[in-house]
Structure 1
Amino acid sequence: MTSPSTLNFQHICRHWRKFRKLSQLDLAMAANVSQRHVSWLETGRSHPSREMIGRLSDAMNIPLRERNVLLQAAGYAADYRETQLDAPIMAPVLDALNHILQHHAPLPAFIVDRYWNVKKANRAAELLLNIGGNPQALQETMGTDGVLNLALLTVHPEGFRQYITNWAQILPSIIRRLRSESLASGDRAIQEQFAQYIELAAPEGYSEPDSASLLPVLPLELNINGLELSLFSIIATFGTPQDITTDELRIETFYPTDTKTEQFFRNYNFENSV
């Protein structure tokens, strides 16, 4: 949770423990400390060292942005900076992202931030967006102030949702992913935004269906003005992020589930396209 400055370390630590559904004993074992010490930290009888905050944060899988909140609440300077993707120090990261986008061609790939705002996309991804209409016009319709949000684009009735022929089938997975990422972030702003997306996606009175027999992956079936495509996605993250930006970036790459979709992207003439 991105906490108000009035909350102290013990309040925030206790919140995260309960948020992760851990008992004091669970947290103590995961952080390799005594349960008594966890109790004293949460009641203010003991003050945490910087190293202890790191161990507790690891044990509770707290995102880097929220670790800074925890550190500052305990009176320490923030450990993690948030660097713009185009900053010189981020050059190796940007090179890696560009490499992934380029080498995933001719299939679509997106780089998104924690809100699912698109930061970068390859030409195949831009093609996919443009097939469904003018992305800028869609942004204006959805009221995103020029920000292309992949989640909103998917769930909005006037976005890509109108082309998804198996919407009822994939809806539970979309809602689960939004809820999961919302909870994992612990960020109130993300939780509020994703709650709006879930409300937009789910019909009134929606309840998650019982699990049926599942395919290895759930395809996204599209019919865009007669063009039928079937895709599934893989989401990747950085393995050892030390910056808030890299911690929060997601790489979503799309793959075909049938020959017709694969041939469409592989046969498309990107060289002569605008």
Structure 2
Amino acid sequence: MRTSALRPTEHPLGYLLRYWRQARRMSQLALAHHAQVSPRHLSFIESGRSAPSREMVITLAGALQVPLRERNDLLLAAGYAPAYRESDLAGPAMARVRAALERVLAHHEPYPAVVMDRHWNITQANRSAEVMFAHLRGDPPASATANVVRLMFDPRELRPHVVNWEQVAPALIQRVHREAVGGVPDPATRALLAEVLSRPDLPAAWREPDLAATVLPIIPVIFAKGGVTVSYFSMITTVGTPQDITAQELRVESFYPADLETERHRWT
């Protein structure tokens, strides 16, 4: 969330606090209760009449369950330096996280698994996932993207090979909204959705999230190409208690066989 939409008289921190209160459906009274501050003091902070301490900004962000990247935005809006760093996944600070990810990917063989960032870009994949996507995308692939959402909606990429695409595509849109970091799609994620949903052959109803629409407990994705048909459902793993932006935004998607034929299949 950025402050570019601020009205001239609006205080940057107050604007961001109100944004997150509305996203969490919390009143000032409810937030004050959760943060253990007086409603009057919170009202003064939102209006810009009171300058909160650094600790107070962090307390309010925690009560609102604001993601780490956006907590830095709150601190900057209040005039403080960011508190949370964003490490390079390939750097020494993330060595243990990287080793854990590699272990998870390796242990999930012979089934596919990938690591994605906040915006659904694949950053790592195990051997089975690499072979599966290479088979489905062809050689050479139609595009250079490694973004799962773009791949699923692009008629030159995975879309023609998804047997149940009419079920999977709207469910994927719901997932993007539901699994957004902090539960609120950021501007880049909203732009990604707008991009893929701008295709003229897609139903207009898909442009609005309907998080209560799923009927089945899971919707597997069924891929079919070159005489090979596989059906997978997936599970998502995140890093627990992260204190680094990169760590918080990483997700491992592990694919599990949805039928016996897929369970027997090996991507070699």
Q: Is the 8 A contact 1:5 1:73 kept in 2?
A: no
8 A Cα contact 1:3 1:69, kept in partner: no
1:132 counterpart residue number: 136
Q: Which residue in 1 is equivalent to 2:102?
A: 98
Give the distance between the partners of 2:201 and 2:54, measured in 1 at CA.
Answer: 43
The CA deviation at 1:29 is: 2.1
2:236 match: 235
1:169 partnered with 2:138? no
Deviations 1:118-177 (CA, angstroms, capped at 9, x unpaired): 1000000001101113375222xxxxxx44111111121222111111112223311111
In structure 1, the residue matched to 2:2 is 2
Listed as ranges, the gaps of 5+ residues in structure 1 are 140-145
Give the aligned partner of residue 142 of structure 1. none
> What is the CA-CA distance between 1:61 and the residue it aligns to?
1.6
Q: Which sits farther off after the overlay, 216-225 or 242-251?
A: 216-225
Computed over aligned residues only, the root mean square deviation of the Cα atoms, in angstroms, reads: 2.4
CA contact (8 A) 1:171 1:201 kept: no
Percent of counterpart pairs with the same letter?
40
User: How many equivalent residue pairs?
Assistant: 260
Unpaired stretches in structure 2, ≥5 consecutive residues: none
In structure 2, C-alpha distance between the alignment counterparts of 1:23 and 1:2, rounded to whole Å? 21
Q: Which residue of 2 aligns with 1:180?
A: 178
Aligned to 1:203: 202
Q: Deviations over 1:232-263 (max 9, x none)?
A: 00011111111111011111000001111011
Equivalent AA in structure 1 for residue 251 of structure 2: R
Name the residue aligned to 2:155.
157
CA distance in 2, matches of 1:129, 1:165: 15
2:31 aligned residue (2, 24, 27): 27
Moved more, 66-75 or 32-41: 32-41
TM-score, normalising length from structure 1? 0.86
CA contact (8 A) 1:178 1:198 kept: no
Whether 1:261 and 2:262 are equivalent positions in the alignment is yes
Amino acid at match of 1:259: L
**1:43 aligned partner:** 47
- CA distance in 2 between counterparts of 1:42 and 1:164 reads 48
Separation in 2, partners of 1:201, 1:175: 16
**Separation in structure 2 between the aligned mates of residue 23 and residue 134 of structure 1, nearest angstrom:** 52
Equivalent-residue separation in structure 2 for 1:97 and 1:74 (angstroms)? 35
Aligned counterpart in structure 1 of residue 70 of structure 2, from 66, 71, 74: 66
Is the contact between residue 110 and residue 253 of structure 1 (CA under 8 Å) also seen in structure 2? yes
- Once the two structures are superposed, residues 78-114 of structure 1 have per-residue CA deviations (whole angstroms, 9 ceiling, x without a partner) of 1011111111121101100100011111110000101
Alpha-carbon separation, structure 1, partners of 2:140 and 2:241: 35
Q: Distance between the aligned counterparts of 1:14 and 1:35, measured in 2?
A: 14
Matched, 1:194 2:193: yes
Q: Which SS does the other structure have where 1:148 is aligned?
A: coil
Alpha-carbon separation, structure 1, partners of 2:212 and 2:243: 40
**2:36 is the alignment partner of 1:15:** no
Cα distance change of structure 1 residues 240 and 213 upon mapping to structure 2, 3 Å threshold: closer
Contact kept, 8 Å, 1:81 with 1:243, in 2: the verdict is yes
> Is the CA contact (8 Å cut-off) linking 1:238 and 1:246 kept in structure 2?
yes
> Secondary structure at 1:223's aligned position in 2?
strand
| 2:14 and 2:45 in contact (8 A); partners too | yes
Distance in 2 (alpha carbons) for counterparts of 1:28 and 1:202: 47
Counterpart contact for 2:177–2:184, Cα < 8 Å:
no
